[in-house]
Structure 1
Amino acid sequence: MTQEEVLDAVVRQRIRGLRLARGWSLDVLAARCFLSPSTLSRLETGHRRIALDQLVPIARALGTTLDQLVEAVDDEDVVIRPRRDEGRGTTTWTLTRADSAHGLTVARILLDPAASGDDDAPLGVHPGRDWFTVLAGTARLRLGERTILVEAGQAAEFSTMVPHAVQAHGGPAEVLVILDADGGRTHLLPGGATEL
């Protein structure tokens, strides 16, 4: 199967999937994109070749863009591989792409207690807010002069204008973080290093 045939099949699946997700029959979508139900059926099943002048009204009717409808299938970003930063004692799995919506970054981070430092380690400051939940272990959240233990199943959200750091406490800790654009630039350093 050629790359063009693969993309054609994916576009057909997307049209059908989006139509079904909205609970629409062929008749409903056909009326919204000014095609006959039989033409739409043949497009979805591959019995008729999809033309560009048909894709634009179909995309509009489905509430998506032409770009999203014909976006190439790429396996490159499907598998998320960990980045280890031995110097800072973290392993990071970045779960969102660099160009994610609203500039948010979601990452799973394993914190090593041996590299977490002590209470004298410098605290970071940046504009915005950070959020994390502890998946396993206990995290030590240092906010200015305060130290807060956040256990598995608990979450924390705070202003990052307060000097802060997140470290493992009493053993390894695994956290899921959501960072705004400023937090992503500050905590997820170039080269895969992570500094919480």
Structure 2
Amino acid sequence: MTQETDLDTVVRQRIKGLRQARGWSLDALAARCHLSPSSLSRIETGGRRIALDQLTVIARALGTTLDALVESADDDDVVIKPHRDESRGVTTWVLGGERSPHGMTVAKIRITEPVEAGPLRQGVHPGRDWFTVLSGTARLHLGDRVVLVETGQAAEFSTMVPHAFGAHGGPVEVLVILDHDGERAHLHASTVDLTGP
């Protein structure tokens, strides 16, 4: 099978899968696309070529984009490679290659170097940050306050308060959800900046 044929098959499967996920019959989607149910059926099963103008209308009716329907299905969109900063003991996995439609970024962060008890360089940015501790204990600095967040606990705070976090008493793994400003402040290039912008 050629790469073009493989992609054609994937696009047809995506159309059918999205239609079924919405609980729509062929008739329901065909009406939204201004196609006959038999034409749509042949598109889904490979009995008819998909014209670009039809694909655009079908994507819109399914609530997706043309890009999403035809994006490559190679392993690069499955395997999330870690970004390591050995000097700071930080490994980051950014989950989802593209920012979600809601402007949020999700990342898993493993920190092996402990945070010193002394003052950290704390930063501020608009918005809110949220994280949950998967393992270990995180030391969260919020201005003059120090909050220990343990395995299974979560923290949410205004990022207009000077803040930084790191490991306490051993390695820590956290799952963070950052808005656009938080992503820009904390996820720089291939590393994570836990000590503020």
Q: TM-score, normalised by structure 1?
A: 0.89
CA distance 1:182–1:149, change in 2 (3 Å): same
Instruction: Name 1:160's counterpart in structure 2.
Output: 159
* 1:1-196 paired onto structure 2 within 5 Å: 1-97=1-97, 99-112=99-112, 114-196=113-195
CA contact (8 A) 2:90 2:191 kept: no
Return the letter of the residue paired with 2:75.
D
Measured in 2, the distance between the counterparts of 1:191 and 1:27 equals 47
Measured in 2, the distance between the counterparts of 1:91 and 1:185 equals 17
Shift of 1:109: 0.7
Structure 1 residue runs of 5 or longer lacking an equivalent are none
The total of aligned residue pairs comes to 195
* 1:132-189 C-alpha deviation (Å, 9 max, x unpaired): 1111111111111111111111111111121111121222111001112222222222
- Higher mean alpha-carbon deviation, 15-24 vs 97-106, is at 97-106
* 1:62-106 C-alpha deviation (Å, 9 max, x unpaired): 222333222333432321111221222211111132554344221
CA distance 1:96–1:53, change in 2 (3 Å): closer
CA contact (8 A) 2:15 2:44 kept: yes
Measured in 1, the distance between the counterparts of 2:28 and 2:18 equals 13
Q: CA RMSD in A?
A: 2.0
Shift of 1:4: 1.5
Measured in 2, the distance between the counterparts of 1:152 and 1:43 equals 50
SS of residue matched to 1:76? helix
Structure 1 runs (4+) deviating above 4 angstroms are none
CA distance 1:72–1:141, change in 2 (3 Å): same
Measured in 2, the distance between the counterparts of 1:93 and 1:180 equals 16
Return the letter of the residue paired with 2:163.
H
CA contact (8 A) 1:116 1:167 kept: yes
Structure 2 residue runs of 5 or longer lacking an equivalent are none
Give the % identical residues: 69
Return the letter of the residue paired with 1:127.
P
